[in-house]
Amino acid sequence: MGIYLWLVSYLALNGEKGEVLDKAIFAAGCFWGVEAEFRALDGVVETAVGYAGGDFENPAYEDVCTGKTGHAEAVLVEYDPERISYKELLQSFWRIHDPTTPNRQGPDRGTQYRSGIFFFTPEQEQAVKESLAELKAGCRFRRPIVTEIKPAEEFYRAEEYHQRYLEKHGRSSCR
């Protein structure tokens, strides 16, 4: 299901609670561990793993694994901006993976494991640029940061067995 239909469905179910939620999409390697990291943050209300950044419509996991869809394994994060800021989400993003390894995180290799930030608003784009500049000025990484930064387009929710995968299997991390 595309992000638009998913968002409309979500708002229909949750809009009555009066919560104003923002959303963000991050790619930082295998989406199972990335999802678990974001779910643990106070202020993150919901997550979904899926595929973003490519041009192949309605991909399945097997499609994305070929490396021919252009999609990265990604996590859609819905958060309460009154409890956690986008800047704090960015700080977590930079902390949980190595943004200097193109198409690789740990033992996972392929374009689907690339580092990426897909922003929704001009404010998010500005926050990403500022965060990246701070990171570069801090000299935390010896190699250049290769994180893909681009506007969010379509987010395709992954198959249900991937959602909260680590939680379903009694694990807190991939390691």
What residues contact 90, with CB distance under 8 A and at least 6 apart?
A: 117, 127, 128, 131
Does 124 fall in a domain?
yes
Q: What is the pLDDT of residue 166?
A: 87
Q: What is the pLDDT of residue 38?
A: 98
Q: What is the pLDDT of residue 14?
A: 52
Does 9 fall in a domain?
no
* Amino acid in position 134: E
Does 128 fall in a domain?
yes
Q: What H or E segment, with its residue span, contains residue 128? A: helix 122-137
Per the structure, how many domains does the chain have?
A: 1
Does 6 fall in a domain?
no
- Asked if 147 contacts 129 with a C-beta cutoff of 8 angstroms, the reply is no
Q: Tens-of-pLDDT digits for all 175 residues of the chain?
A: 455 444 444 444 454 456 789 999 999 999 999 999 999 999 999 999 999 999 999 999 999 999 999 999 999 999 999 999 999 999 999 999 999 999 999 899 999 999 999 999 999 999 999 999 999 898 888 899 999 999 999 999 999 999 998 888 887 677 6
Does 15 fall in a domain?
no
Q: What is the pLDDT of residue 131?
A: 96
Residues marked active site are found at 30
CATH number of 127's domain: 3.30.1060.10
Instruction: Give the residue numbers spanning the domain of 154.
Output: 20-163
Q: What is the pLDDT of residue 17?
A: 58
Give DSSP secondary structure letters for 49-77: EEEES-S-SS--HHHHHTT-S--EEEEEE
Q: What is the pLDDT of residue 30?
A: 94
